Structure 1
Amino acid sequence: MSSASIQNAENSSPYDLEAGFVAYPLLFQQSATEAPELEVLQVEGAGVTWAELILDVNKVANFLTSRGLGRGDKIAILARSSREYVTVYLGGLQAGVCIVPLSGMASSEQLAGMIEDSGSKLLFASSSTLDLIEPFMGKLNGLAKDAYIAFDFDKEGWASFKDVIEPMPTDVHVADIQPEDAFNLIYSSGTTGVPKGIEQSHYMRYQHVLRFSQMGLEKGATTMIATALYSNTTLVAMLPTLALGGRVVLMPKFNVEEYLRLAEQEKATHTMLVPVQYQRILAYEKFDDYDLSHCQLKLSTSAPLREHVKRDALERWPGKLIEVYGLTEGGIGTVLNATENPDKLASVGQPGMGAEVLIINEEGEVLPQGEIGEIVGRSDAMMTGYHNRQDLTDEMIWKHPDGRIFFRSGDMGRLDEDGFLYLLDRKKDMILSGGFNIYAADIEAELIRHPEVTDVAVIAIPSEEWGETPLGLVVLAPNAKSSEDDIQVWVNERLGKTQRVSGIVTRDDLPRSTIGKILKRELRDEYIKQSVS
């Protein structure tokens, strides 16, 4: 296996096989056998039953095998969310290959680098991503001329997905999958160069199934998903739903009104959303007109869910609300059951199933509860390593004095007396002003309380007097009357002397990634250029 390995770093197996292991394809084959007539997947109003879907999954697996692909090989998908996308994902897993889901938000140059870095043998695509592919088509090492397969278009140089799988047999052949085998390779976001490839094993993905089962996801669930299929946020909810006998309603493009309409119509019991989606849904003027009474569990991840949004969701949206904090790399994982802990809404919860979280200082020493430092963690669900980058894998690791492997988060935080974790900032985003450490999250928590502020980000900008100083960037509600000066005075009256913002800038919006994270690096670059020009 070419991936950099945690096993190499610790010289021992990261898999606790006493906890049990079932290969994912066996789980979805069982779901299909038990409920063949269940409409297991719906995309844009078109539903497909297990009986229909599993035939195509089997064909994909047999097609890949016919191409000589199996355990250790990789295939890439760069496409809009669709039935075909899900079919290739499941069929690939069944053949034992590792799936490489690629983001349509990356540049052509980055995508070419990721495909070559992964060693993918095939590329599946939709018409929506053609413009990204054409600059490098036919030029990449490892991708033969007949390696390009089209989901929804006809074009020279591309094989039709329907044509390649249609003649394939529908016999069920599941590869001899081992726990350490690569399940998928997910590339982290980045603006320059080739992002890091995070290799997740079959064992890690099975742990996700166990965790979601513990949280109440079970047979008969209908899970609404409105994030892209290349995102771990999507996969971590969709895959366990399919494995546990539920059905998935997949939205290729998020729209508040359409989400609410579908949630009501399909009687959604579970959903996975990112914080910006919760904000937009709850702010929708007709939200209370929709019947969401079937909802049992709402999940939020990928970025902190602000306290006031959690409170609003608890008051107006039926079902439990659970926030999950973790990394695509795994290791670190906390769970906040907001419904049961309304007095801890500022936190991201306590360590989840099989997880341990500690706070360390710059010297790598464990800090007591209440003290601020870098968050590190370990769990039963940890990546194999960064693909082809043992150096970065080693940098990710912090070793406990007893020899156990923990992952560094790069996030600053503290644990309270009850073991609840409070996030403060990315370590690299911490503001050092006049010798004091300032955490943007503390300032943002105050700014968002302003009655006319709907969104906020605090960044560091250069200061001749202090080295760095905090700048508040805010989005105001329609018809807001407060000026930038008004808001600066208001928030500084509520902050400590060392935390006070040097200015407030109003904006129409804040740049976000496709899963809703505020892109602070872009904001810093923008305002640093302004401050030195």
Structure 2
Amino acid sequence: MESRPETSSDSKTARLDASGAQTYPATDRPRAVTVPGETFLNLTEAVRCLAAARPDHLALIDGDQRLTWRDLGSLVGRVTARLRSHGLRRGTMVASLAENSAAHVAVYLGALGAGACMVPLPTGAHEAALGRMALNCDPALLFASINQSEVARRLGPSVVDLDDLETWLGEAIPDSQENDLPEPVGPDDLFDMIYSSGTTGTPKGILHDHRFRSRQVMRMANHGLNGDAICLMSTPLYSNTTLVAVLPVLAYGGTLVVMRKFETQGFLRLAERHRVSHAMLVPVQYRRILDDPDFGRFDLSAFRVKLSTSAPLPAATIRAALTRWPGKLIEIYGMTEGGISTMLDCAAHPDKLDTVGQPVAGAEVRILDSEERPLPPGEIGEVVGRSPTMMVGYHKSPESTAVILWRSPEGEDFLRTGDMGRLDADGFLTLLDRRKDMILSGGFNIYAADLEQVLLAHPDVAEAAVIAVPSHRWGETPLGLVALGAGATVSAEALRDWANAHLGKTQRLAAVEIRESLPRNAIGKVLKRELRAPYWLEATT
């Protein structure tokens, strides 16, 4: 077999195929569970077919803007043609830095239609982190909203104004039946890359191929996310949480209602006005919506299924939703990397509300002890999982990909979650503590180590630890605990403000407390459990 050249900037696993497209050979990827007799759903081909099959059905609602499937198909085709005229090839990366909008969705689909790998960058990240992400993915183009345009232009790539998409499209060859056809792609071709990264260190770009998304789309269609669905999108498009619900609706020809920025009254008004049937929300959104004093005034009777993920959904919130909000409530536990995948139909299992459900079809969950040996039901250890949806790997970081893999005695690849948990006799998974010092605030992952490094960069700080403390608004919020160096006089408030100026909007510290010292064990590790305990004890008493 003829060897293929590596790209100059890619990792050892990234190569170019004969057409010049970037590929990741199957032998270098985590091995997913096979699906016997599966069919492959090509999303961009589906969009083209839907434009012909149901031209007058509403595809997107964004404020006063309404796009039928004919409109959306035409717009996506024009984006595809314009990208091709820009010289994009299969596997090229195209990034976005923008809030939710109909144009953002169209660009996402159009980039896929051109065979590109879509990279939606997190608008809440600090500019320094965004710079590292841009360097890591090296996009051919960066689509930016007006709110993000200044930052986008400092990142380096060619920037396209997403709020003036028509001007950019006007430079393309007009609609043509030939140029707007989607690029032929296969299951192994790259689909998108989602970043799971904080402020410091090397960003980790999680690569998904078309097989991953095809399998995920078809699985979620089992929950009614199909051509009959009216789905309200209120979480950002750069989050895998959002894509889990949005992509199936687009693949099967449903209607997507776009919410640019979440707030409870706006969500309730849109849900009532458009007879919304489905929504993917994070737990803090459920609590805020249910706490809204006007919740009972809105007609939510069209809801069929509500989905929750990104953080544990408290049993009290589940019970309130089941009592007051029509439709099923499904809790999902998973990772952007794939592997672990469980679901809980809350109404069907009222005695299991403290769990995150059972593995989905084709998935397997195991619990490992400290020596990486599988444990029996009832025993606590690290949660690992395998499923039909497994990431390609971390972009340009085969070492990080290797770290997250656990190979079973049978030779099967599992992905480590970093979470501690146990399986009961019925196969339901209960999550306990986290091995990672990760804070889940408002549905976003915040890594304590990133915040600690920022605090330690202040000249007056000698020691720093960041922990999760309870927050009614966010579920959890980060608290900084620091010990100052000799002679230091900085106040806690000034230190918090200084650190937050160096952090992304979703990472900011709620407060900083100054301690004489931080508790450590015999080998010098900060005892975070000891630091957290008083705050969580107070919250439960």
- Compute the TM-score of the two structures, normalised by the length of structure 1: 0.78
Give the residue type in structure 2 aligned to 1:532: S
Pair 1:89-2:97 in alignment: no
Tell me which residue corresponds to 2:304.
296
How far apart, CA to CA, are the structure 2 residues paired with 1:357 and 1:56?
Answer: 42
- Which residue of 2 is the match for residue 21 of structure 1? 40
Cα separation, 2, equivalents of 1:476 and 1:327: 24
Cross-structure match for 1:343: 351
Partner-residue secondary structure (3-state), 2:235: coil
AA aligned to 2:424 is D
- Cα distance change on mapping 1:380 and 1:14 into 2, 3 Å: closer
Matched AA of 1:55: S
Give CA deviations for 1:410-465 in whole Å, capped at 9, x if unaligned.
Answer: 111111111100111221349xxxxxxxxx99xxxxxxxxxxxxxxx9x99xxxxx
**What does residue 171 of structure 2 align with?**
164
Distance 1:33 1:191, change over 3 A: same
Q: Does 1:76 align with 2:95?
A: yes
* Distance in 1 (alpha carbons) for counterparts of 2:94 and 2:177: 20
Does the 8 A contact of 1:219 with 1:246 survive in 2? yes
Task: Measure the CA separation in 2 of the matches of 1:170 and 1:257.
Answer: 43
Q: CA RMSD in A?
A: 3.1
Structure 2 partner of 1:272:
280
SS at match of 1:334: strand
Q: Identify if the C-alpha distance between structure 1 residues 471 and 219 changes in structure 2 by more than 3 Å, giving closer, same or farther.
A: closer
Partner of 1:187: 195
TM-superposition CA deviations, 1:143-177 (whole Å, max 9, x none) = 3xxx32112259xxxx9434334745354412120
Correspondence 1:424 to 2:435: no
Q: Given the alignment of the two structures, is residue 327 of structure 1 paired with residue 335 of structure 2, yes or no? A: yes
When residues 89 and 475 of structure 1 are mapped into structure 2, their CA distance, relative to the original with a 3 A threshold, is closer
Structure 2 vs 1, CA of residues 395 and 220 (structure 1 numbering), >3 Å: closer, same or farther?
same
Distance 2:268 2:257 in 1: 12
The aligned runs of 1:88-487 (5 Å cut-off) are 88-136=107-155, 140=156, 143=157, 147-152=158-163, 160-165=167-172, 167=174, 169=176, 171=178, 172-429=180-437, 473-475=469-471
CA distance in structure 2 between the aligned counterparts of 1:202 and 1:531, rounded to whole angstroms: 53
User: Partner of 2:532 in structure 1?
Assistant: none
SS in 2 for 1:176: coil
Assess if the C-alpha contact under 8 Å between 1:183 and 1:201 holds in 2: yes
Q: Given the two structures, how large is their TM-score scaled by the length of structure 2?
A: 0.77
* CA 169–314 in structure 1, closer or farther in 2 if over 3 Å, else same: same
Does the CA-based 8 Å contact 1:6-1:393 persist in structure 2? no
More displaced stretch, 377-386 vs 17-26 = 17-26
Quote how far apart the aligned CAs of 1:352 are: 1.0
- Deviation of 1:276 after TM superposition, in Å, equals 0.6
Separation in structure 2 between the aligned mates of residue 223 and residue 366 of structure 1, nearest angstrom: 40
- 8 Å CA contact 2:367–2:384 kept in 1: the answer is yes
Please state whether the residue corresponding to 1:164 is helix, strand or coil: coil
Alpha-carbon displacement from aligned partner over 1:372-403 (angstroms, at most 9, x marks no partner): 11100001111000000000000010001000
Q: Contact 1:359/1:415 (CA < 8 Å) preserved in 2?
A: yes
Deviation string 1:18-67 (CA, Å, 9 cap, x unpaired) is 32212111222222222111111011232111111111111111111122
Shift of residue 103, structure 1, vs aligned partner: 0.9
| Cα distance in 1 for residues equivalent to 2:169 and 2:184 | 27
Cα drift, residue 14 of structure 1: 6.8
Conserved 8 A contact 1:55-1:170: no
- Residue 481 of structure 1 corresponds to none
Pair 412,352 (structure 1): closer, same or farther in 2 beyond 3 Å = same
User: Given the superposition, is the C-alpha separation of residues 9 and 173 from structure 1 closer, same or farther in structure 2, using an over 3 Å criterion?
Assistant: closer
CA contact (8 A) 2:153 2:159 kept: no
Q: In the alignment, what sits opposite 2:86?
A: 67
* Per-residue deviation, 1:70: 2.3
Seen in structure 2, the aligned counterparts of structure 1 residues 93 and 21 have a Cα distance that, compared at 3 Å, is same
**Paired AA for residue 415 in structure 2:** F
Q: Report the Cα offset of residue 353 of structure 1.
A: 2.4
Alpha-carbon distance change, 14 to 64 in structure 1, aligned in 2, over 3 angstroms: farther
Q: In the alignment, is the contact (CA less than 8 A) between 1:371 and 1:415 conserved in 2?
A: yes
1:302 Cα deviation from its structure 2 partner: 0.8
Contact 1:6 1:14 in 2 (8 A): no
Label 1:10 to 1:285 Cα distance change in 2 as closer, same or farther (>3 A): closer
Alpha carbons of structure 1 residues 395 and 166: separation in structure 2 relative to 1, 3 Å: same
Equivalent residue letter for 1:128: N
Deviation at 1:15, TM superposition (A): 5.8
Q: Is the 8 A contact 1:413 1:422 kept in 2?
A: yes
Q: Decide whether aligned partners of structure 1 residues 515 and 422 sit closer, same or farther in structure 2, where only a CA change above 3 A counts.
A: farther
- Are 2:290 and 2:320, in contact at CA under 8 Å, matched by a contact in 1? yes
